[in-house]
A and B are shown apart, each in its own frame.
Chain A
């Protein structure tokens, strides 16, 4: 079982109980650039997700987290080109027609968007939005849809759910609105829930409530949690994939990655964040993440890395060792 190759991009694949709910293999998302160039927003991302499992996609602004999520939903901007394979319960999502995808979205896959107002129509009552989401996928009466809408609002901890059905989005606080978004994503019992920074705009005590809610949901489906906060991933996710400039640079069991990070970027992120255990100077990562189209060849982290040398001008490949995937010529540990 020692054979480690970039092709075998799975962690814990041997523990599989049944097939994965979602399988993403060598995903690439590119945009057309100037003079016929292509700009890669996502560059070779692979992961599997089983029922009851949660994966955190962690990385800084522009690293390709949202583009990864939107690929699964097939909601990328029109100019984006997507390559690789995405399958939901062994069905090829990239081969589906738009019409077939509309049946997948909101039914088998639910998504909570980064911007809490996306997905909620400001001039429609909450109840009407929920009812439509139910009846698009289920054959049921208005009364049955209302009952289901009330039930799902209650399940996400919204007080007086029956009355809230009549509320407009702007009449709710940020925390309640995000709960409604989660309710909307869950209303048809999806197999997969994708949450893109669902708590970034919220206060920490409200964030804690939402994380609790998502934790409960994981037991029933599978979760992709997108966040720039390693702490949030630590609370919620079994595994994490750390992204940098469109690539996964480290992937593995969350606790292991946080205890013994191997990629210099993961090490850098953990050192840069204040964490209560020490006071005194923080250790920043020098420089800034590259903009799309200015990503260095080879290892994209090379200009900011204290271990880099000429070898790093070649892409090191995402290699597996001890159930951890790391893309670095000189990993820690």
Chain B
């Protein structure tokens, strides 16, 4: 018969390990459980489970702070004003905050934790940001590399946004991509069609989110979106309007223009300058022609910078920056709405400024 002695080493090691595991569990129970605490956000108070970051806790409460880095303290989008209940600035936050922000108690919501009753202030408009589930209803090619996606909102079933704003689209893990990423896309539909979201997306070679949308997302699939974000929207003035876009930058401009009333269009006489390389980069021409026919005050001016053989083009040619002056005779009367690649945007801002457009009346997405 095997003597009990053989088991002593194994048994004692096992009991050592077990007792240590018990210690860890006890520590977890007593140390990591913060119980229920009160988190005050502006003038609302939430009863929440303590222990997580402000960013994560607010998300549980359906308040979505902007974030581009997923809480890794690299993007600094998640700033909030800490009112009470948080300690000193953390080493992880310090490099992302200016002296001024530190003195105003601005903190990174993804770093500070809710451990006891505490209070933060956030910009009021963040309360209107919601997380939507939506179903893809239709996709069509606008050009060889731009697709038009139409989503039907499922829950919540309506979105309240200003024409020109954008949503964050969640691209789930697929194939070799192991993490969810969030990317911004401007809504291109009318703001009064509240149960649909339309996006115009240009394929980025090897881009994580666009590859998902082009190759994996199929009609009928459900997706997750948050929004609306951004302060790119129509300002309520009587000034003349020039809109300038290229590629998928048509999206927010389309949303803005299609939402204007006939009276407004007569009064503000918008021109839409659309820059493209060649004929094959133009899209929705018939829709814009119809819009022009309906509103005599409006003009759609596509311009081609490099024609291809067989393009047979009689419209404007040259870079979009060369075309602007012709349609903006006196910049002082104008308000400008821009959307496109950063390089084009900067160049257009320069041109507009030289034409006398007040810089405060040139609008575009800052994070773009």
A binds B: no
Residues of A within 8 A of B (CB): none
Residues of B within 8 A of A (CB): none
